[in-house]
Amino acid sequence: MTITAYERIIPPVLVSELISIGQSVSEHAFRVGDIANECVNLNKLAGNDITQHIVYQAIGAFCGKAGRTVRYYAEVADKFPIEIRKKYEALSFSHFAFAVKYEHWQEILEYAVANFDNRSRPASVDHLTAVFGFPEKEITSNSNILDLVNNLRKEVYKIPMSGDVRRLIIDALQRIIEAVQMTEVS
């Protein structure tokens, strides 16, 4: 017998705890993103000659996250000011992170809050993906290039090949990442 009802998979006491954890994770992701954006701006105003990448790495070192994760939080936080977050407070950081990829992000967030499921939760990100699909995002920034290269790097591990060939490809992708990071302007 296959169980598909989440309530039959996760005990109610753990559901409550998971919801609480999810809310906390969302708050912290946005806060780390806000701090990153603030530190980038403070360093620009101070005339410090450091890249955003270095700021993200420094913040990541203090909060136990990779620099690219901090960048991701910062990009989502930058796109959605606090007023918008409050308007859609029922949604998680992941909802916003999904919507940020689209020009019609407001339609997606509205859909998520309008389509509460039978567990009194907004439409899940999986549901949004099923409805809105994957965006055809143009590469318009260093962040997009870094995301693309990092995704390629993950795919290399899925392809059967010798360790030597894999290492050559990974090294080449790392050199691309380093070159892109050198071009970032703080």
Q: What number is the average pLDDT over the span 27-46?
A: 96
Which of 21-25, 56-60, 138-142 reaches the highest mean pLDDT? 56-60
* pLDDT tens readout for residues 50-72: 999 999 999 999 999 999 999 99
Q: What per-residue confidence (pLDDT) applies to 184?
A: 63
**For 64-110, how does the pLDDT look when each residue is reduced to its tens digit (9 = 90+)?**
999 999 999 999 999 999 999 999 999 999 999 999 988 889 999 99
> What percentage of the chain carries pLDDT values higher than 70?
89
Domain boundaries, the chain: 6-135, 138-186
Question: Average of pLDDT values for 28-51?
Answer: 95
Is the predicted pLDDT of residue 162 greater than 70, yes or no?
Answer: yes
Task: Give the count of beta carbons closer than 10 Å to the beta carbon of residue 132.
Answer: 16
What is the pLDDT confidence band of residue 141, given thresholds at 50, 70 and 90? low
Annotate 171-186 with b (16+ C-beta within 10 A) or e (fewer): eebeeebeebbeebee
Residue-wise pLDDT tens digits, 104-133 = 899 999 999 988 765 577 888 888 988 887
CA 69 from centre of chain: 7
- What distance lies between CA 11 and its chain's CA centroid? 28
The sign of the dihedral angle between the CA atoms of 172, 56, 72, 6 is positive
pLDDT over 90, % of the chain: 46
Q: Higher confidence at residue 58 or residue 12?
A: 58
What is the pLDDT, as a whole number, of residue 127? 85
**Phi, psi dihedral angles at 141 (to 5 degrees):** -150, 170
User: What per-residue confidence (pLDDT) applies to 186?
Assistant: 44
Which 3-state string (H, E, C) describes the chain? Answer: CCCCCHHHHCCHHHHHHHHHHHHHHHHHHHHHHHHHHHHHHHHHHCCCCCCHHHHHHHHHHHHCCCHHHHHHHHHHHHHCCHHHHHHCCCCCHHHHHHHCCCCCHHHHHHHHHHCCCCCCCCCCHHHHHHHHCCCCCCCCCHHHHHHHHHHHHHHHCCCCCCHHHHHHHHHHHHHHHHHHHHHCCC
